Amino acid sequence: MAAPKIIVVGGGLAGLMATIKLAELGAAVEVFSIVPVKRSHSVCAQGGINAAKNLKGEGDSPWRHFDDTIFGGDFLANQLPVRDMAEAAPGIIDMLDRMGVMFNRTSEGLLDFRRFGGTLHHRTAFSGATTGQQLLYALDEQVRRFEAEGRVRKFEHWEFLSAVLDGARACRGICAMDLRSMELETFAADAVIVATGGIGAIFGKSTNSVTSTGSAQSSLYQQGAFYANGEFVQVHPTAIPGEDKLRLMSESARGEGGRVWVPRDGQKWHFLEEWYPKYGNLVPRDIATRAIHKVVFELGLGVDGQPAVYLDLTHIDPKILDRKLGGILEIYEKFVGVDPRQQPMKVFPGMHYTMGGLWVDHKHRTNIAGLLAAGECEYQYHGANRLGANALLSCIYAGRVAGAAAVDHARGLANGAGAVPQRVFDQEKLRQQELNDGLLAGRGGENPFTIWKEMGRCMTEHATVLRYNDKLRQCDEKLVELLDRCRRLNLSDTSRWANQTLAFARELANMLQLARVIVRGALERNESRGGHYKPAFPDRDDAGWLKTTKAFFAPDADEPRFVYEPVDTSLIPPRERKY
Amino acid sequence: MMVEVRVRRQQTPSSGPRWETFRVEATPGMNVIGALLRIAENPVTAGGKPTTPVSYDANCLEEVCGSCAMRINGRVAMACSALLERLDQPVRLEPLSRFPMVRDLQVDRSRLFEDLKRVKAWIPIDGTYDLGPGPRLAQREQEAAYPFARCISCGSCLEACPQYNDKTGFVGAAVIGQVRLFNTHPTGRMHAHERLEALLGAGGIHECGYAQNCLEACPKDIPLTQAISEVGGQVMRHSILGFFKR
């Protein structure tokens, strides 16, 4: 039997882990990525990766990790996959350690662990404050080894445009664009795994990288994939506001003893420690973010009257800071010009992560046969709020599960991708080519970067920390207006070589469609849960809303529609979430 | 603050280069990428001539993905951490010169990744299934190795290296830094000879001319000259031992 041929879209942690698993299982793998995979957004993750190794004598266990994750996610995550992930976590750390990740060590030469938000245990393995970089590089190196052996082929500087669907709406490959020649091509596969990361660019400025647009997910949603829990986005409490992006200041700063405060009556007011004595500065992100919002906007106590609070490390030995947090101190110094060992950092919440994403089952299969999803682009593990240092874990775990499931799917196919008529591929390519031709011929007055900025402002203002139904309605109207203006673009660049404006214009239209899923999903959900908070409905409503949102695209109406499905709470009965 | 930005532009790999000047309203803390975004919003030169947005590589914007290396005022730098207020005016932007041109400020750095293959810059693990914990590692060794694990493959050290060109085929400091990293890891050490063998061949470590520009160019302050000297010693011992074994 010929080796199954599998396409992986995206070369961050989830995509590379899937690739490694696939290669190990004997599949022929093709990896598509907009950037060289080593430059994927996973590289930005800082603080660490969770696993209940219990190396600090605290009685930690995978079950506690599981419980913290479900509780932290306000009971919206289906429980079985989360339990399985928590159980797999210690083995994943071992695997990464064997790959050569330079994790910090104890004096005995064992892995060191630190505290993170939403848990009372030292559960987070780390490599300075550049853990995402170190994990991404380890997987990148393993993939490079398979590539040198001819078992993996990379298509870097290629952008995924759409899935190729056959007459039965099953996924048979992809259509992608070479970002240099701007030529389109279709690629056949027995299964496709998308691992295309986050959606930060929908909010204009976020902690995400430029390529985290959600364009691929949106394209698939418009082709019939369910998009789940889109209204749940995470606003990280501590980022450095910037002109071009919000730069993350890792939760590990607080895990290592950093304290958040604002001046009040000439004193330092450590409001998180006062309000949450048990967890203090390490309450989960949704709670810390709302607390900062309250202190700044309701109490008017932002530092120097600005939207900012202090994140203070100055009481900690600089040698320890350099060893455990060097990477983020360097970022603060370079971009702000102030030494955080000497002066408290000024930070403010910023859009960071999407808990929502493509709907998948336990094996990471979407509702489109042959199409799987892994990593931040899917919704599986984090419920209504993700705990810090669970993202790296979920990416790697999901990549592994998806890789194995893709091979299972391929082996079960009666007819492989080779049996699909060529016209199925030609039709999809033609559809995409027409989109490109239309954009290049456009002579309207609209600039795509201007529309993007307007979308980002609208989304940040109305669809992040506090949500009001009238504002959400206005925001959706604005998105419809922007979509309309998006049909009258002028790209200012009609060339067919390395035309980045063309690629961006395509992403923009997809971002707007996905933005509507977020806003409309939030409008529907009249309760507060995790990252989704409505002052008019301040409580969690399990009777009405303990259910997964599934958005689907209604092509005729050009808008999202919603269905809901029950959440699996078979292992831990929902309880009040109080820290 | 109004900033004048001059960009060396080139439409395709084979077309001739030309300079264009832009005027950009810079806000406090704005970086070179911010200026390029402003230009994309209104692609008109200082002389009022409509043009195309500038092509460039960028992703993380916090100096960890390695994408946005370019020549800024004649020196290699990361565009994301180059703040306009700290730069001499006018700001001159040029593509890296040691790599094939793609368009404008975009170049093709794939050779760097190919060279990582040449030296087998990885730990050859038996598999990803559960084989128990990795080797123990002294804190001190971890701390010495970690800086090399932070190499972002931006190519700054290669751009600054007088020996990095087609004639020598020199792999350059970044790749030698990775050999240092893997050759001292407890598992990686078991395969050190393969990496040293690669550095004995064409484009190997003997092409280093000790200009030491790499050290200064590295945005991550990686001790690259230390790596070159350590790995140089390893290569020497390996080749002498090899000579006596013949």
Residues B8-63 pLDDT 10s:
999 999 999 999 999 999 999 999 999 999 999 999 999 999 999 999 999 999 99
User: What value does the mean pLDDT take over residues A223-237?
Assistant: 98
Residue A462 pLDDT: 98
Residue A68 has pLDDT above 90, yes or no: yes
Residue ranges of E strands in A313-414: 345-354, 357-358, 371-373
Residues of A with Cβ-Cβ distance to B27 under 8 angstroms: 243
Residue among A53, A99, A49 nearest A393 (CA):
A49
Structure tokens at A123: 């559960």
Return the number of CB contacts < 8 Å for A and B. 190
Residue B246 has pLDDT above 70, yes or no: no
- Catalytic residue list of A: 285
Residue B66 has pLDDT above 80, yes or no: yes
Confidence of residue A2 (pLDDT cuts 50, 70, 90): confident
For a pLDDT cut of 90, what percent of chain A falls above it? Answer: 98
The reply to whether residue B65 touches residue A40, judged by beta carbons under 8 angstroms, is: yes
Interval B134-143: pLDDT, tens? 999 999 999 9
Residue A212 pLDDT: 98
**Displacement of CA B180 from its chain's centroid (Å):** 16
Residue B244 pLDDT: 72
Confidence of residue B243 (pLDDT cuts 50, 70, 90): confident
CA distance B146 to A14: 23
Interval A468-479: pLDDT, tens? 999 999 999 999
Do residues A173 and A188 touch, judged by C-beta distance below 8 A? yes
Residue B58 pLDDT: 98
User: What value does the mean pLDDT take over residues A76-102?
Assistant: 98
CA distance B176 to B198: 11
Residue A36 has pLDDT above 70, yes or no: yes
Q: Name the residue type at position A497.
A: W
CA distance A44 to chain B (A): 7
Residue A302 has pLDDT above 80, yes or no: yes
The reply to whether residue B30 touches residue A244, judged by beta carbons under 8 angstroms, is: yes
Structure tokens at A289: 């973010």
CA distance B164 to chain A (A): 21
The reply to whether residue B136 touches residue A108, judged by beta carbons under 8 angstroms, is: yes
Do residues A455 and A512 touch, judged by C-beta distance below 8 A? yes
Residue A387 pLDDT: 98
Closest A-chain CA to B134: A98
User: What value does the mean pLDDT take over residues B203-223?
Assistant: 97
Residue A1 has pLDDT above 70, yes or no: no
Cβ-nearest to B66 among A39, A497, A500:
A39
Beta-carbon contacts of residue A282 (< 8 Å; ≥ 6 apart): A115, A116, A117, A118, A119, A251, A254, A255
The reply to whether residue A335 touches residue B29, judged by beta carbons under 8 angstroms, is: yes
Residue B61 pLDDT: 97
The reply to whether residue A98 touches residue B185, judged by beta carbons under 8 angstroms, is: no
Closest A-chain CA to B28: A243
CA distance B46 to A180: 28
Interval A486-514: pLDDT, tens? 999 999 999 999 999 999 999 999 999 99
Residue B223 has pLDDT above 90, yes or no: yes
Provide the β-strand partners of residue A30. A7, A153
Interval A520-533: pLDDT, tens? 999 999 999 999 99
Count CB atoms within 10 A of the CB of residue A320: 12
User: What value does the mean pLDDT take over residues A261-274?
Assistant: 98
Closest B-chain CA to A147: B117
Confidence of residue A415 (pLDDT cuts 50, 70, 90): confident
Residue B122 pLDDT: 98
Confidence of residue A243 (pLDDT cuts 50, 70, 90): confident
Beta-carbon contacts of residue B224 (< 8 Å; ≥ 6 apart): B157, B173, B174, B176, B177, B214, B215, B218
Cβ-nearest to A97 among B34, B134, B188:
B134
Average of per-residue pLDDT values in chain A: 97
Q: Report helix, strand and coil shares of chain A as percent, to nearest 5.
A: 40, 20, 40
Residues of B with Cβ-Cβ distance to A38 under 8 angstroms: 66, 113, 153
Interval A306-359: pLDDT, tens? 999 999 999 999 999 999 999 999 999 999 999 999 999 999 999 999 999 999
pTM summary value:
0.98
Structure tokens at A281: 């500065």
